[in-house]
Structure 1
């Protein structure tokens, strides 16, 4: 490779997973899960216009989603320098923001490590869960390797990597510890309403009902049972959710990658141009991981959380 491979590089599990189109559905699942932590969701809602039902809210909502996709793409496929600069920018923004607990009046920073850890764990759990459940060939050992790799992403947002779960057992133990803190707050209800019916221009409302509605239902269905209980809305039977995730995965993966990667923010195209065509992310590099990755394992297991 002639160029800088970045934080993870083409031989990593992260490189293969984050190029999959099901990451968009996984990202929405992460938002649903993150919203159930009262302090974390207040930090988002009190510092964002994205959840306002007006023109400003509509612009900020979609802008926020694209900024998140750009950040994940930069960390996954950008140069080392670009990833470090993106992380520094996020840490700088977080240091300047705070939120208020309406019950106690306590003011706290959104860069509280406990809150950053919740956001991180909800994200990586959602990425792994949705991709594995939709048929992406991630073995058990490869899933553990992915979580270990993602400690580097956690470092960039301000966490000590040694405090971040680095395998499935540690991640499951973390969710067991934090579950008593989760609740359906008014802010979480607002996020739920936003994800079910995000603001859109009038001409796009019918498309929102069909296309985005499918994404939101899939993401909600993929949540753990305790999240469904907290939200108070039933989910389809787990087997039905798995069938729909697999069908959606087959449909989206049938679109040629060179077509999918043309969509913004195009980090994969830039990475392949920088490092060469052999570095393109692909599922087969996990299926035949003995020659590329250290991990082996079947793809039958599903993550807890």
Structure 2
């Protein structure tokens, strides 16, 4: 989800009628994504620091996918897919405060994504190691679909791989539905974002769409994925998260758009389908696209994080395209 922010400079002009209408929405969007209604979070400004160009740059598939508004439904989709793995779901259920502080958890996830995408290599590595240290405390047990008790740790290789691929598959699917063309195509994004998987301890992350789809299917073929009461709770929460009232009206459009990009098998496992009248499904992608275009008009065409990354790269003498 894009963490954008205004400059924080006060305006000397009286707000126009349109601004009076849109500013509350813009303010709530900023707070939802980065925890601040105005100004730039310090961690975003810090992306100017560092003495290397970062793992990715302008013209990369990662910047194209993570720089667009499609990241908003992509984040919802990723959480839905992650919830199909009972081990990943147990970690969230047992150790996360997503119900009490969903925006705080969202802001933390955005911070990691954008630090890896736009920060220096040193900053990206440091941020990933910090998350891995937090994961060391996340362990427990759960009953699988056959009633067998299984232990889990958040840093288990299979859980790390599932979370990485749920993220990559979701952000790619949303970008292909609503984003701009991806430099190098979908395979380039999977190959580039494999670096993030490596930073998070994923062993041999997929480097093509075909590899990723095969590895995702392997979890299902092994009988790992399931729909449980906990899964239904997550779906119910994601249908109606505790958003600001001004954002609630539009959210179902984005949720339905996210569901439309799920694979048929994952939709089946989650018990989800498009809004419908009798046997006829209602359109979801076009309304979601219109909603995302409106959000983009409010927040700007590029994340502020990318702008600070450009400043770092310019300081290092790297000539990037405008």
**TMscore range, shorter length:** 0.7 to 0.9
> What does the per-residue CA deviation read over 1:1-47, in whole Å, with 9 as the maximum and x for residues that have no partner?
x9622111223211222111111111111111111111111111111
Give the 5 Å matches for 1:1-305: 4-51=52-99, 57=100, 60-102=101-143, 103-138=147-182, 141-160=184-203, 163-180=204-221, 181-200=224-243, 204=244, 206-236=245-275, 240-255=283-298, 257=300, 261=303, 266-276=304-314, 279=320
Which segment drifts farther, 217-226 or 189-198? 217-226
1:214-268 superposed Cα distances (whole Å, 9 cap, x missing partner):
222221232221222222232247892333344344444445736x63xxxx422
Q: What is the TM-score with the length of structure 2 in the denominator?
A: 0.73
CA RMSD of aligned residues (A): 2.6
For structure 1, list consecutive stretches of 5 or more residues without a partner in the other structure. Answer: 52-56, 282-305
Quick one: distance in 2 between partners of 1:45 and 1:157?
21
Whole-angstrom CA distance in 2 between matches of 1:211 and 1:113: 37
| Structure with greater contact order relative to length (CA < 8 Å, sep ≥ 6) | 1
Question: Following the alignment from structure 1 to structure 2, what is the Cα–Cα distance between the partners of residues 219 and 176?
Answer: 20
In 1, Cα distance between the equivalents of 2:68 and 2:320?
A: 15
SS of corresponding position for 2:283: helix
Q: How far apart, in 1, do the equivalents of 2:196 and 2:111 lie?
A: 14
**Could you tell me whether the CA contact under 8 Å between 2:253 and 2:284 is conserved in 1?**
no
Partner Cα separation in structure 2 for residue 238 and residue 270 of structure 1: 43
Which deviates further from its counterpart, 176-185 or 149-158? 176-185
Q: Which is higher, the Rg of structure 1 or of structure 2?
A: 2
| Unaligned 5+ runs, structure 2 | 1-49
Displacement of 1:165 in angstroms is 1.1
Secondary structure class of the residue paired with 1:7: coil
